[in-house]
A = this chain, B = another copy of it.
Amino acid sequence: MSKTIAILAPGAMGSAVARCLSENGARVLTSLKGRSEATLKRAAVSGMIGAEDDAIADADIILSIVPPGEAEALAQRLAALIVKRNKKPVVVDCNAVNVDTVKRIEEIIGSAQAPFVDGGIIGFPPQPGGKSPAFYMSGAHARDIAVLRDFGLDIRIVEGPVGAASALKMSYAGIVKGLAGIGSAMVVAATKAGAADALRDELALSQPAILARLEVALPDMIPKAYRWIAEMHEISGFLGPDHPASQIYEGFAKWFEHLAADAGGDAVDASLLKAFAAGIAKKKV
C-alpha cells in the first residue's frame, strides 16, 4: 500500500529518514519554503518532494524531526494546518524532548483532533543500504505507524503512554552522552596534569569496556557537542528543576558548550581527546 509521509524538517536526520522511506516506495513530502540552497539539494537527493502546507496536512503520517528547542513551535504550526482538515494525519514527535514537553505537544496536536504518537530515535541516521536507527514509539496510537516497518524503519513499540518513548530517549542519551561528557572532562584534565598515560593504562587494566567505549565516543562527540547542549537541558528538564541530579545535566550543557567553542576555535581540547582516543598521549616525565 502506498503511503504519503511528510517529514519536517529536511535536516541531517530528517533527510536520511526520507531517503530510506522513498527508496522503499513511500511518497515523502517536506516544506521547503525559505530554506537554503544546501537544504533544497539535500532534500532533492533524498527523494523528498517540496509541498504546500495543505498537501503536508493531507499526508498519512507526519514525522516531526527537528532540534529539541523547535519541537513545540512546529507542533503549533502543524495543529493550525490540521485543524481545518477532515482527514487527520498521525503526527509523530521524534524529537529529543523531555516528558513534560512531549505531553504539551500531545495537547497541541490533540486540539486539532489528530492522533499523536510519542517517538524517540536512538542511533545514527539511516545510511543507504545500511541499518535503521531504532524508532521507539509509545502512546495509544503507536501501533498505527508500525506500517513504517514496510518502508525500512526499525519501529519498536514501547508499552506505555505518551512520554514513555521520550523518557527512554532521555535516559539512554543521559547515560551514553553523559559518559562522553565525564570521559572528555576527565581526559582533558588528566592530560593537562600529566596523568593521561597512567589513566589510560589503569582503565585498560581494570575497566577495559569503558576505555573501549571512550575510544569511540570521544572523537565522535567533538563535532556533535554543539547539538548536545540543548539535549542536556532537555534531560535536566526531564528530571525536573528541583531534582537532586538536574545540576549534573546543566553542567554537561555548559561543558559541551565549551567543547563546541573549542572545536570551532583552536581545538586544543579536541586534539587532546583525539590523542587519548588514539592512544598517543604524550609522556611527561
Contact = CB atoms under 8 A, between A and B. Distances in A.
Interface string A100-131: 00000000000000000000001100000000
Interface residues of A, number: 65
Interface in A197-239: 197-199, 202-203, 205-207, 209-210, 212-214, 238-239
Contact of A206 (B123, B165, B167, B197): B123
A193 interface: yes
A186 to B, nearest CB: 4
A244 B260 CA distance: 12
Contact of A161 (B179, B194, B198, B247): B194
A185 interface: yes
Taking the full assembly, how many copies of this chain does it contain? 2
Interface string A180-192: 0111011101100
Interface stretch (A34-42, A61-69, A169-177): A169-177
Given A160-B198, A168-B199, A174-B185, 17 more contacts: A134-B202, A159-B284, A160-B195, A164-B198, A168-B195, A171-B199, A172-B202, A175-B207, A176-B207, A178-B182, A185-B248, A189-B238, A207-B213, A246-B251, A247-B254, A248-B251, A251-B251
